């Protein structure tokens, strides 16, 4: 039983040690203000050395400058069971005199990658972007930095009692990406990020 407990604790410590990286789609958003009552659909992947996530995102702007979004995907991580992962969040464009757009972005995510552990995380940070229309028509580049807080817990059975074990981690995460608009509705994106490990993401976005 002691060995099983150590294995379990080691497992969910390793799960939480990668932060948001394996469990969510890339940022895949610019900081440009959204127009009210506009919507979009994103499909893509995020892959690291030991994981891959395939998923989709729906977004809607109830107000000028504010976008709400929700993700759903399937994640596979080496050595773990794999399973669905969900994320919800918002991005709000800030009025600034700067020559580029700036937005605040926050998310909450919940992956289900192992039946023995409960995982929940949250992020808060910012996005900056600038279109390069004068150089390459349709191209926008963006960068993002955020704090990622992830908590993992499990109930460990020890003979006649149950012990609750938990562990928290906080990371500084970074991302750089580019979005290329082919038409008024269709865009492709690619992104490099680092959340305690490097990740590469990409996909397509359709504005409705």
Nearest to 149, CA basis, from 173, 129, 126, 166: 173
- Name the β-bridge partners of 104: 92, 126
Banded pLDDT at 18 (limits 50, 70, 90): low
Cβ contact 190:178 at 8 Å: yes
- The β-bridge partners of 67 are 91
Q: Does residue 114 contact residue 12 with C-beta atoms inside 8 Å?
A: yes
Within the chain, what is the greatest distance between any pair of CA atoms?
70
- Give the pLDDT of residue 154: 76
The overall pTM is greater than 0.95: no
Residues 109, 133: Cα–Cα separation, whole Å = 34
What is the band of 20 on the pLDDT scale with cuts at 50, 70, 90? low
Contact indicator for 153, 188 with CB cutoff of 8 Å: no
116 pLDDT tier (thresholds 50, 70, 90): confident
Average pLDDT of the chain is 86
Based on the number of CB atoms within 10 Å of its own CB, is 141 exposed (0-12), middle (13-18) or buried (19 or more)? middle
pLDDT at 7 over 50: no
For the cut 80, the answer to whether the pLDDT of residue 162 exceeds it is no
What DSSP assignment string belongs to 124-161? EEEEEEEE-TTTSTTEEEEEEEEEEEEEEEEEEEETTE
pLDDT tens sequence across 51-105: 899 999 999 999 999 999 999 999 988 766 789 999 999 999 999 889 999 999 9
Residue 81's φ and ψ, nearest 5 degrees, are -70, -35
């Amino acid at each position: 039983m002691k060995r099983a407990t150590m294995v379990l604790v080691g497992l969910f410590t390793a799960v939480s040690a990668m932060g948001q990286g394996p469990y969510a789609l890339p940022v895949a958003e610019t900081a440009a203000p959204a127009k009210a009552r506009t919507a979009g659909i994103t499909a893509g992947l995020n892959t690291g050395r030991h994981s891959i996530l395939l998923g989709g995102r729906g977004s809607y702007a109830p107000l000028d400058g504010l976008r709400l979004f929700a993700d759903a995907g399937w994640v596979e991580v080496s050595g773990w069971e794999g399973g669905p992962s969900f994320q919800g969040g918002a991005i709000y464009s800030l009025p600034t005199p700067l020559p580029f757009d700036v937005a605040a972005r926050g998310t909450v995510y919940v992956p289900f990658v192992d039946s023995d552990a409960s995982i929940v995380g949250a992020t808060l940070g910012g996005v900056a972007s600038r279109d390069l229309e004068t150089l390459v028509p349709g191209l926008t580049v963006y960068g993002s930095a955020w704090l990622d807080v992830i908590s993992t817990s499990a109930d460990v059975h020890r003979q006649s009692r149950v012990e609750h074990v938990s562990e928290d981690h906080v990371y500084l995460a970074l991302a750089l990406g580019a979005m290329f608009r082919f038409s008024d509705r269709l865009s492709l994106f690619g992104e490099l990020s680092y959340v305690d490990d490097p990740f590469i993401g990409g996909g397509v976005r359709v504005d409705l």
